[in-house]
Chain A
Amino acid sequence: MNREGRRPASELAPRAATRWIILGLVGLLWAVPIIGMVEFTLRGGLAGGYTFDRWILVFSGGLDASYKPLWTGLINSLVLAGVTVVVVLVLLVPTMVLVHLRFPPLRRPLEFLCLLPITIPAIVIVVGLAPVYSVVARLFGSGTWTLAFAYGILVLPFAYRSIQANLDAVDVKTLTEAARSLGASWGTVLARVLLPNLRRGLLAAAVIAVAVVLGEFTIASLLNRNNLQTALVVLNKDDPFIAVIFALLALAFAFVLLILIGRLGGPKRRRTE
């Protein structure tokens, strides 16, 4: 206890054993379905036993032409992820910085607007987007990449939260004014001062956007577009083993991205003398 009669934070933290139990339970919760999926992909079929043949087939490039829709879906999803990230960052970041610096009273309305998609079921969004996409198709064609506009809306809540947390942690106003007083134009302030200091939030927003896009099924399916998830559903009917392998790989990819956020987004460290 300290002088104010409060226990220090280190005392309030759970004991090591408790922490490991919690970690173990949560880990188990996540691990069981993944282990189940892995086990499923290794099953030997009617012959029984386990085999790595399907994994070898995937990694040796031995999948025949019947799996082409899967590759198309994967490429579409990757393109969609890239376009979505660009759409979100190019539109959202300058808007948020502008609101933060020049129009603080607009922060709450912007937050409300950005968080709205999380409260609306995907099916309802599709109903609203269907007529919009007839216009989009006329303007930009019906390529799968146009789904990025819808996905941009879908990832807004996650991107907003990540970027706003970073904006709140940095003294954006003072850094901006310091840069301006040193002769920087607004573009330079954004590119050379703000973006480097918001990189953790931007990375998090980008990675979450990629993860959401790679896992999205409802909108793509109802708007008749082909992405990884719709391709996996179709493939699941013909070859559920390969479909599950690709689902696992997508999961691993998202996991690697999350690790990257932690590695790249952290502050620069230097050993002090």
Chain B
Amino acid sequence: MTTSTLAPAASVGTASASVELDGVVKSYGSHRALDGIRLALHPGEFVALLGPSGCGKTTALRALAGLESIDEGRIDIDGRDVQNLPTNRRDIGMVFQSYSLFPHLTVLENVEFGLRMRKVQRAERRARALEALALVGLEERGGRYAHELSGGQQQRVALARALVTRPRVLLLDEPLSALDAKVRVSLREQIRRIQTELGITTLFVTHDQEEALAVADRVAVMNAGRIEQIGTPEELYRTPATAFVADFVGLSSGLPGELAGSTVSLYGTTLPVLPGETLSDGAVRVAVRPEDVRFASAPDGIPATVVSSSFLGSLRRTVVRLDDGVLLSVQHGVDEAPVAGDAVSVAFRGSPVRVGPVR
């Protein structure tokens, strides 16, 4: 198979659209899977919907795709209410968590499927399918069947199949979760590259915060059917709006502190509090990032005992137990290599912290 006559990959082309979910509610019996979520995607934007299992993120994506009906609210694509539009007429591309290639069709026939549904002429269909396969680097695999491909290759074909129809919106429902770590990283980068090239509005559902922060323009963190915060990865990490976001995004240790106005007292250190949740003064739970903690010399720091230390390539993360039994993560350089049982001292760097109610 040759691709010499093909147009450049980026010419797969899309007409990206804005997407808006406004007060969407979906219940299964007494369980409210979506509790009035509001989410707006700008044309060409890559938004990740991040949250723990069962938080409603997949339901939100499926509602947008038309695979789930909604009880209340409104879903607009390009300003048009699509609530009564069936899935096959919403002009979306979708990649699923489980492998969804049609087993009885070859890779090329799979990619051509959407074009066949749109009654595209055979020659154009074939050219566009090959072009889409070239986009994901699988133009040589057109004659294979799904069972002859690896998991990563199958998801790349699924991506090509979703893109070949030039949909207005691309929906990705945890497409990387069934893949091994290395393939996952490589494929997520490929997805981001293709999305940037095509400028297609994309909603990417994942429970993996590293994945969401790595690829998305903005991340919407969901919890119990609600969106807790929408922001850039930096905003979510640096200024989490709620204790849940602070806890879920990035790594943080939960420590007992005493709130007093806009500061919190933590093991004798006073730290500024990030604006957000309104809490009355008194006992609170303080979320502290590992990079906001350092090892200190004995008299100045808080005494602790090393529990474990992990080498992470360019840095090292050590878990220590404070005298009151609380565990705290410390991020530091690889030159320091504490071992379990070492007596150490730690101190806070003074960065603003997020506080939440005591659990």
| A interface residue numbers (CB < 8 A to B) | 170-171, 174-175, 177-185, 188, 193, 196-197, 267-268, 270, 272
Is there an interface contact between B88 and A175, defined as CB atoms closer than 8 Å? no
Is there an interface contact between A268 and B102, defined as CB atoms closer than 8 Å? no
A sample of 9 more A-B contacts (CB under 8 A), given A174-B96, A178-B102, A182-B114, is A171-B99, A174-B98, A175-B102, A177-B100, A178-B96, A183-B88, A184-B88, A184-B117, A196-B102
Inter-chain CA distance A180–B67, complex, in Å, is: 9
Q: Mark B220-257, 1 if CB is under 8 A from A, else 0.
A: 00000000000000000000000000000000000000
Would you give the shortest CB distance from B328 to chain A, in whole angstroms? 38
Using Cβ atoms and an 8 Å threshold, which residues of chain A touch B93?
Answer: 181
Is there an interface contact between B104 and A183, defined as CB atoms closer than 8 Å? no
Is there an interface contact between B65 and A181, defined as CB atoms closer than 8 Å? yes
Looking across the interface, which residue of chain A has its beta carbon closest to that of B100? A178
- Among B66, B99, B102, B148, the residue within 8 A (CB) of A193 is B102
Using Cβ atoms and an 8 Å threshold, which residues of chain A touch B102?
Answer: 175, 178-179, 193, 196-197
Inter-chain CA distance A179–B117, complex, in Å, is: 9
Would you give the shortest CB distance from A83 to chain B, in whole angstroms? 28
Would you give the shortest CB distance from B210 to chain A, in whole angstroms? 26
Is there an interface contact between B113 and A179, defined as CB atoms closer than 8 Å? yes
Query: Given A182-B113, A182-B165, A174–B100 Cβ distance below 8 Å?
Result: yes
Using Cβ atoms and an 8 Å threshold, which residues of chain B touch A182?
Answer: 88, 113-114, 117, 161-162, 165
Give the interface centre of A181, A268, A270 by most chain B CB atoms within 10 Å: A181
Is there an interface contact between B104 and A177, defined as CB atoms closer than 8 Å? no
Using Cβ atoms and an 8 Å threshold, which residues of chain B touch A272?
Answer: 148
Inter-chain CA distance A181–B92, complex, in Å, is: 6
Would you give the shortest CB distance from B69 to chain A, in whole angstroms? 12
Is there an interface contact between B87 and A180, defined as CB atoms closer than 8 Å? yes
- Among A170, A180, A196, A268, the residue within 8 A (CB) of B88 is A180
Query: Given A171-B98, A178-B96, A197-B104, A183–B145 Cβ distance below 8 Å?
Result: no
Is there an interface contact between B67 and A270, defined as CB atoms closer than 8 Å? no
Query: Given A268-B145, A270-B145, A183–B118 Cβ distance below 8 Å?
Result: yes
- Asked whether any CB of chain A lies closer than 8 Å to the CB of B103, the reply is yes
Would you give the shortest CB distance from A202 to chain B, in whole angstroms? 13
Query: Given A175-B100, A178-B102, A268-B104, A183–B114 Cβ distance below 8 Å?
Result: yes
Looking across the interface, which residue of chain B has its beta carbon closest to that of A178? B100
Is there an interface contact between A183 and B67, defined as CB atoms closer than 8 Å? no
Using Cβ atoms and an 8 Å threshold, which residues of chain A touch B117?
Answer: 182-184, 188
Give the interface centre of A185, A196, A268 by most chain B CB atoms within 10 Å: A268
Give the interface centre of A183, A188, A197, A272 by most chain B CB atoms within 10 Å: A183
Inter-chain CA distance A59–B46, complex, in Å, is: 73
Inter-chain CA distance A97–B302, complex, in Å, is: 64
Would you give the shortest CB distance from B157 to chain A, in whole angstroms? 11
Would you give the shortest CB distance from B310 to chain A, in whole angstroms? 28
Give the interface centre of A171, A178, A196 by most chain B CB atoms within 10 Å: A178
Would you give the shortest CB distance from B8 to chain A, in whole angstroms? 24
- Asked whether any CB of chain A lies closer than 8 Å to the CB of B320, the reply is no
Inter-chain CA distance A193–B92, complex, in Å, is: 19
Using Cβ atoms and an 8 Å threshold, which residues of chain B touch A193?
Answer: 102
Would you give the shortest CB distance from A252 to chain B, in whole angstroms? 31
